[in-house]
Amino acid sequence: MLENFRIVLVGTLYSGNIGSVCRAMANFGLTDLALVAPQCVDGWADAAKLAVHADAILDQRHTFDTLDEALVDCTAVVGTTARLGLYRQHVRTPREVAPALHQLATNGKVALVFGREDNGLLNHEIARCTHLIRIPTHDEYVSLNIAQALLICAYEIFMANGSYEAPFEKSPPAHADHRLRLLQMWREMLLLVGFMYEEKADHMMQGIQRIFSRGALSVDDVNILMGVARQAEWAAKHLPRKEL
């Protein structure tokens, strides 16, 4: 459904923010960018510079004179606001609203609308919105940069899409008997290299066991640590002391 999300920037003052928005969009699979009456008082050089490898989104942007023109084919309009007020009290967080937006995107375009850097969206623009989003922030400074705000919203939409698969450990967790053999090998190796003596071995091995127990060891982890013990034991038995 990601292709059915349109990012709408209203009255953007600085082209660098537009370029940064393009980059954030590309990070999360969004491609449809609409600009409404962009000001770009700094020219357009920073837009291309900050878009980095998302220049295709920047080049394929659509520009409109009014917000209504940008929204004409949208079935849902999601406004973003940092301010609260009588007509902005029904705000929800991006995480709360993202699943519902995906459902809406099955039937048509969903617009995410971001306002000006200095004043955000005006009341008559808020009135065009079917949903409102407010990103939770610290009370002492609630305003976010446009690209930062878009990045957060885009992330939540991307995750709600359900297509992301987290990487997983290919090697299975090591069984208790495997870890026990590891400890026995390390005990023998540490005794052989003189790291500890027999009378202190039980005490020292409690410390070694504690280290190995700080996280779940996979089969590969245990095999590597066993390999260390084997190599150290071989070196202690076969190499002259001056080479160790």
Domains by residue range for the chain, with CATH: 2-160 (3.40.1280.10), 176-243 (1.10.8)
**In contact, 57 and 3? CB cutoff 8 Å:** no
Residue-wise pLDDT for 64-105, tens only, equals 999 999 999 999 999 998 877 656 667 899 999 999 999 999
**Selection from 226, 147, 219 nearest residue 182 by Cα:** 226
3-state secondary structure at position 7: strand
Distance CA 80, CA 77 (A): 10
> Whole-model pTM?
0.76
3-state secondary structure at position 11: coil
Statement: residue 46 has pLDDT above 70: yes
pLDDT the model gives residue 237: 85
Distance CA 100, CA 133 (A): 12
Q: Residue 113 pairs with which residues in a beta bridge?
A: 8, 79
